Structure 1
């Protein structure tokens, strides 16, 4: 019988951010599946180490030429044995952190408290975090560095990510919600609810793909999906001119930056379980070889930042610092 909770993500060259993201979702009680393609940093080695240590499952996929890589990633996720074994699946990205306000701080506790009856999925609305005055990247926890965000009912937060029950009952997965349901949608447990347990009546998996609600329906009372989509202007510069892995088009423009670099409100609710996170993060960093690979991934990231700015990474003290730390570790 399928059981448990699985979070799955498609990633490429995200090594500098991996340890925090993996720690976060293990803290919430998820198993993890990460699929990568065509990485040029040390993230495959880091993921393989975590795979061998039992912290996650890592596999690769090969995107079809000329199509957004997320389509191939989602097919790989659906076909993977980990998805067949799980009762609940959520697909998200390395810059998305689910924050639970209700319950005991675990996803199992939250799902049990969300609604009096059964349901097929829970839609967690984005909470979009801006750069918060940061201008350059440094090796620090995203969820503590960026604490300024958009107000709840701002249109930037209207998108959601979905935790779905019995994922193989859906024909295919999207970045925000599944599509192609085999049963009678809208009856009994076959409904999608928001994080307060309210049914999203307009959502239907056999209709047009849906990724958002009206801004008035956005809720962060019980839970929220923190989205650190900008990080710093230096990090955002890496996205410019690069097709979106979901949409396959260049959307990382000045308009995108203006819409999502939101800093109107302070929100530190992600620190609710700081002690539990810190203990688990420290445990991860003591895995043999992991700290070295983390610093190599950070050096890789600084190389990309420097090259995007037309500079030599060897002249960047961040590169030197991470390489020095990597060479002193085993």
Structure 2
């Protein structure tokens, strides 16, 4: 009987050892984010991290950001072998819920791993970061106050158009880098602290996306073939039009596309207050905006 019991115990030990040897559960390591400057995307979108391997991207998980800029999660358990083999880190903006396992086009941060860390920034949202206009910080711009969509010359300070009329004929007013897929520019007039959109666009030499459908413009055409807006009809954010833009601040932002927010996104490469005595029909030069880049680091 004693020998039988010993035999059973030996078999049990062997079985346990065999199960342990066959446990193929992959080990995980922590991927940690140290990023500031991200904004609250609301309930319809989430940020999602990705590590890039030779055979494609692997998600590291999603997170949200509150109104103070704090991330809901900064450390993410990630397959150890995949994390060690990763060459780059990418942060995208994804719909919530998201049925597509691949990264969205709206990639806001990117950087290559150097050892156990990666410096990431938003320069990847432009097509050619090595060109003279390859960063948002190299942007420049001009605009005029005018209302070309009506025949009334008494309210010329109620419209803003991103063009330069310093020469004989109108020319492009904004010098901006070409954006990658998933992003658009948007103009804003911040009136009494409230931002009101002038419309979105991808090419500063063409009219913006709402040129023909703007609810604020006059009835005499769509205006010149450049981004801009006449605030002549209706109202927005408690402001009734027409309204003078003197004292307002004119802003160019970079927006995710699609965009679920009626407010400007974090990235604002250009901004310019309009002086109370600003002349209409005269080019006004824009200054640097408050945020031209978001940056941070990722460690593994």
Q: Quick check: TM above 0.5?
A: no
TM-score class, shorter: under 0.3
Greater RCO, 1 or 2 (C-alpha within 8 Å, sep 6+): 1
* Greater radius of gyration (CA): 2
More helix by share: 1
Q: TM-score w.r.t. structure 2 length?
A: 0.22
More strand by share: 2
